[in-house]
Structure 1
């Protein structure tokens, strides 16, 4: 519980780093006496960034100072679970009669596995790009397609599907190519996972966006989520779709805050030294591998055209399409290399242990 608690004195950047470290979407603000002051959600941070707040600013004017909470022994589990689902709460503090924080409640603490599967179904189709060769994970991917590599108890692609299913996304299109039979035979039509899966198959590599041209019967009135099969994200995907629709965007790119330390003194010079920084940290918003595309964008992809998603997006920007970003916080891992695979395995194992303890 202590890791979720933060002081009101920390900066926006520190809060982002804490969300990323914990893989949660909300932090609880408390004072030194463990008294609840408020909550800070990824939505609060996202709004602050969109409004132009500096990452070095204090969170005092950003966090919610009127948070929802329950008192110990004075709540109905059933009604509270309904509140979580209806209002999309990530967590809720449980307080003593003296307003001290006694416990942090999560939805999984309140629901059985069967009940958690009853979230309202969403009408957005998720396209999973699963046709890559996975060269960076050789020799593991010599005879096994990358999406089928185990990360804990399940394969990468099963984890991706489960993450969407947890928020009511039940319709999937999986784009396959390399060793595709292993994927299609294992997942089937999705029935055993409680979802519906259709497939499109590249007869030759078409890049990270080219296979979109193979989709039949594109729905003209609804956007599509597109994700790589090796990206594990802790996100309420309903917020992503709402952001895309509210902004009437053509493309939404999920971006992740990433900080890099340069282990040398950096000299800014044009012949004359202007400044020098000792081992500075540089921060960027990076592409997370998760997108929302409007139907008109998918329909523009030419049949049999090799095109990567970054090239498609650059092309649409140059043609005047509305391309926006959606900053994400909490856990994110792009499993492109062995080191990242081991990090994801460790994270999922620790998360499972924490839930078992609770």
Structure 2
């Protein structure tokens, strides 16, 4: 079982925390980095090999993680010289990857069962499996629907439900072989192309804990909640199907 972790971004939205540290190494709960937690979870769920796609301040990540022995993992690295999006670095790695593998962002805190996601991806035969999460947004305005200059509906301060990508994916090599390495290629580019080809991705719906550490508010929330959630995060979720 092989996972590719995207750890090469500049973390601009999380400044000033990422001025001197790459985002995956910012501390959570004063003892662990995000990457500490993620690597421990992947090892717990049976992953043996990890590839870290590094870029900005990547040598700090390489120095901190080393060969992965501390987590019982075999870790190698891929250095990206420019920003290539989520899937761009993976295209350059295909020859080093098995037929089915996990891809995830390096700034995700969740107690998802990574192994179960990859198992379901394998069983489905899907070109891509996307972990999704239900979010709600409260609209602080009265929302009007209009047609031909006439108001036809009105809802006062509605709550909008929608599903978002968690930044965790089951991926197949055969899906990515048609794309050109060395140019920017994002998750959005992949999904839109698969939809255009009538080969839609599958969904892995998740309702546990998930937080994308993208902004200072998210980071502060993760630290505030850490004592309540650390048991699940540090040992990894118990997978219902295992």
TM-score (norm 2): 0.89
1:352: how far off? 4.3
Q: Among 50, 54, 57, which residue is 1:172 paired with?
A: 50
Instruction: Kindly provide the CA deviation profile for residues 227-268 of structure 1, in whole angstroms up to 9, marking residues without a partner as x.
Output: 000011111122212221222101011110011111122111
Partner of 1:295 in structure 2? 173
1:331: how far off? 0.3
Q: Among 68, 92, 95, which residue is 1:217 paired with?
A: 95
1:150 aligns with 2:10: no
Partner of 1:345 in structure 2? 223
Alignment RMSD, CA only? 1.9
Tell me: CA distance 1:353–1:210, structure 2 relative to 1, closer, same or farther (3 Å): closer
Q: Among 204, 209, 212, which residue is 1:331 paired with?
A: 209
Mark the runs of 5 or more structure 1 residues left unpaired by the alignment. Answer: 1-123
Please say if residues 218 and 295 of structure 1, whose CA atoms lie closer than 8 Å, have aligned partners that are also in contact.
no
CA distance in 1, matches of 2:203, 2:113: 16
CA distance in 1, matches of 2:87, 2:159: 33
Tell me: CA distance 1:188–1:263, structure 2 relative to 1, closer, same or farther (3 Å): same
1:299: how far off? 2.6
Please say if residues 230 and 336 of structure 1, whose CA atoms lie closer than 8 Å, have aligned partners that are also in contact.
yes
1:142: how far off? 1.7
Mark the runs of 5 or more structure 2 residues left unpaired by the alignment. Answer: 234-242
Partner of 2:240 in structure 1? none
TM-score (norm 1): 0.61
Tell me: CA distance 1:190–1:297, structure 2 relative to 1, closer, same or farther (3 Å): same
Please say if residues 129 and 174 of structure 1, whose CA atoms lie closer than 8 Å, have aligned partners that are also in contact.
yes
Q: Please give the secondary structure, in 2, of the residue aligned with 1:315.
A: helix
Q: Among 119, 128, 131, which residue is 2:8 paired with?
A: 131
Q: Please give the secondary structure, in 2, of the residue aligned with 1:244.
A: helix
Q: Please give the secondary structure, in 1, of the residue aligned with 2:218.
A: helix
Greater Cα shift, 174-183 or 209-218: 209-218
1:354: how far off? 10
How many residues are aligned here? 231
Higher RCO, Cα 8 Å, sep 6+? 2
Map 1:68-147; keep pairs closer than 5 Å: 124-147=1-24
Q: Please give the secondary structure, in 2, of the residue aligned with 1:333.
A: strand
CA distance in 2, matches of 1:318, 1:311: 11
Q: Among 174, 179, 184, which residue is 1:306 paired with?
A: 184
1:322: how far off? 3.8
Partner of 2:139 in structure 1? 262
1:253 aligns with 2:130: yes
